Amino acid sequence: MSKKSRKNSSKAPARKTARAVSKAPVKKAAKAVAKSSANKGPAKKSAAKAAKPAAKVAAKAPRKAAAEILKAAPVAKRAKTPAAAKPVATKAATKPPAAPKPIKEKATVVAAPAVAAEGAKAPAFHLPRDGGATVSLADYSGRKLVIFFYPRANTPGCTKEAIDFTRLAGDFSAAGTAVLGVSADPLKAQESFRDKHDLTTPLLSDETHAMLKSYDVWGEKSMYGKVFEGVLRTTVLIDKDGKVAKIWRGVKVDGHADAVLEEARRI
């Protein structure tokens, strides 16, 4: 056999042996070298010699691979259970919301309820009277009107006052003046008061106190050491134009109706 053919024949077994050695441990590589049919005679020693470095490399390869696996294992473990992502603070999240602009509302002016005062327009009213009819300020438009407010029907002072105005009813009519009596008594009490004393002056009932308050005749009173709210004895004279001509407060009954008639004649 020539040197060239001998050289080629020695290379082929070495390549096969190297493949086997790279795939197995050192012991298996040695066996593969021993069993190779091509490695006979002089080529056997050279093939074995050539296989040793490859076998060492193959033996070291699993170790290095194992070491690399061990190094990579913690990283892989951390990758499986990633830490919770920290919230990223943005300008929109950290910036407090702008306070809403206050809505400017137009001021509404609420008119105060009219209160009787001399020289001012008399407050309007609409009330029931004895007998079931209703009476309003408008019913006396163009005429003078006297309204006497009394605390309670069938009490001594109220009875005398109502009788005096009834006695002068003709004189008031001649002076072009109508007369009305008003209290907070219910209609039944007013009618009983009328029938008992033959009163001809219309008696109005204001149980809600609305008209009494508008004429400023409902307020605090005291009697026998007790404080309570009720009608303050008052008389109002209204002229033909519907304006308050005169107000009598804290009325004393004796001679009062006559004084009112004189004032009604004068205006």
Residue 100 has what pLDDT? 63
Q: What is the pLDDT of residues 202-243, one digit of tens each?
A: 999 999 999 999 999 999 998 888 999 999 999 999 999 999
Q: Would you say residue 71 lies in a domain?
A: yes
Averaged pLDDT, 48-69: 52
**154 against 14, higher pLDDT:** 154
Q: Would you say residue 197 lies in a domain?
A: yes
Q: Would you say residue 75 lies in a domain?
A: yes
- What angle do helix axes 42-80 and 3-23 make, rounded to 10 degrees? 30
Q: In terms of residue numbers, what domain contains 31? A: 3-80
Phi, psi of 95 (to 5 degrees): -75, 120
Q: Would you say residue 92 lies in a domain?
A: no
DSSP string, 143-195: SEEEEEE-S-TTSHHHHHHHHHHHHTHHHHHHTTEEEEEEES--HHHHHHHHH
Domain final position from 80, 98, 113 = 80
- 146, burial (CB in 10 Å: exposed 0-12, middle 13-18, buried 19+): buried
Confidence at 115, pLDDT banded by 50, 70, 90: confident
Same domain, 130 and 240: yes
Same domain, 45 and 138: no
Phi, psi of 27 (to 5 degrees): -65, -45
CA distance 103 to 92: 25
Same domain, 249 and 163: yes
Residue 75 has what pLDDT? 45
Catalytic residues: 158
